[in-house]
Structure formats: C-alpha cells, structure tokens
Amino acid sequence: MTPARPGPTTRAPAWEVLEAATRRGEDTVATEEPMEIRLVCGDRRLPVAVTMRTPGADFELATGFLFNEGVVRSPEQLRAVTYCVDPGVGQEQRYNIVNVEVRDASVQDITPLERHFSMTSACGVCGKATLEGLQRRGLERPVAGPRLEPEVVRCLPGKLRDAQHLFAATGGLHAAGLFTSSGDLLAVREDVGRHNAMDKVVGWALMHGRLPLHGQVLVVSGRASFELVQKALAAGAGTLCAVSAPSSLAVDLASEFGMTLIGFLRPGRFKIYSGAERVALP
C-alpha cells in the first residue's frame, strides 16, 4: 500500500498556558520534511541538493532551484519531473525525493555538480555569495519595465498576507509572491524556508513558460537577503520587495545589477535601497 503524501500542516500536541489556567490540546503546525533533488541525465542520477521544506509544490521547488542555480534555463530542457520510484527506495520516502530528468544534450557535463551543491532551507547559494561569481555566470541587468505607483507598492504585503492560507493556519511559514506592475497577484507559494518559497514561485513561472519575469514584482514575507536578490535576478525580475530589512550584501548586489530593492514595506511606507527609477516618486 502506497503511503499518503505528506501534507503542508500537521497536528501536534500542545499545552496552552493562560493567566488563570493551563489546558492541553492540539495545535496546527507547519510540516517540515527533507526533500532530495536528483538530476537525471541519460543513465546518470545525481543527488544535487537536500532541503528541509514544507511539502507542496515539490516539482516547482526542484525545477526552480535548478533554474536559479543555472542548471536548467528553459522548460524545453525538462523531459520529466517525478517523485522517485527507483528500486531500493522505500515507499515511505518516495514523496521526499524528486527526480528532474533533463534531455541528454541539454546538460553536457554534470560532474561539477557533485561538488557544487549542498543546501538546507536557509543556505541559498551555499558559499557562492560573491558578486564576481554571479557576473561570471552571466546574469543580466533587468529590463527597465513600467514604473510602479507608490500606492500599488504599499498594497502588496496585504495582498500577499491575504493569500497565505497556510500561514493563517500555522503562523510559521515564509511566503513569496509574484505580482504584475499594477498589483495583480499571479502566484504565491509558502514554505518553512524563505529561499524555498522563492524557488517554488520561480519553478511555477518556469513550468508555465513565464520566464523571464520582465516588468513583474517579487514580494517576500521576511528580510531581503543576498540569496533572494540573486534568485530574483536569475528569474529576470526588476523589482524585489521585502516586508523586513535588506542585508548589506543584498543592497550591494541589487545596486550592481540595477535592480529595484524595496524593504520595510508597510501599508503606509517603504524604503527604496536601489533602483528608485522604477518607482513613480512624487
């Protein structure tokens, strides 16, 4: 009998301590389980990453990660994305391993990947955090795109929060959302790892033929790190908004590539750290 696929939430026992009483019950928490991403090229199967993630949109997470790391550049390279049913893999683990099969000629040499990848839900680029490395990789400056109205920017965190259904149930998940320049929500994904949430959105865009994200806006529920700016750049987005603070290296990277980076995004205010020309300022 095939085990049930793990869900995004789990019921857990919990004590609730109040001012005048204590009671025992259950609470809904975000599920966290490991997921291994395997690249399949011809007769070779290469484990490239293991991440702790919230189950759901696993195929988008796998393809988004491979795209953001420069391994997959277009949906035409993908032959199949499946859960693992390889001999020797226990049935209880099949939903925690994703095989991404690429066309034989699309990845000429996957040997360097053996020393290139290793990650957790928060490690992102895993030691490649240098501007020089990204420049050598060939990332391009985002296109100019339409200018954003400040009132549109200010409404984005509210729209993102309204779409975070798992956060409403658990209170413990990050989110990434993709919006048009007029503030229309295109996709939102949630995960215990903020980098995973971004990879899921990019994977969705890749598998639906929507890359590059020219003229569109990415919004993240936490802080803006170097890794998230890098992933947004790889996807071609010109604007990244965060409800919290950016890091210094995130500001440096966004400035180097001409990306608009917005932080401390609230209903009444926000700060622009790079690329103010994409915002229609008074």
**How far is it, in rounded angstroms, from Cα 210 to Cα 206?**
6
Three-state SS at 273: strand
What is the identity of the amino acid at 54? T
DSSP 3-state of 184: coil
CA dist 237 and 216 (Å) reads: 6
Calpha distance 157→162 (Å, rounded):
9
Is residue 22 within 8 A of residue 15, CB to CB? The reply is: yes
Residue from 84, 123, 126, 155 carrying the catalytic annotation:
123
Q: Is 123 a catalytic residue?
A: yes
Q: What single DSSP character describes residue 20?
A: S
φ/ψ of residue 76, rounded to 5: -65, -20
Angle CA 67–70–71, to nearest 5: 80
Q: How far apart are CA 198 and CA 220, in angstroms?
A: 8
Smallest CA-to-CA distance from 163 within 189, 200, 202, 182 is with 189
Tokens 């955090």 correspond to 129
CB-side neighbour CA atoms (13 Å) of 130: 6
Residues catalogued as catalytic: 123
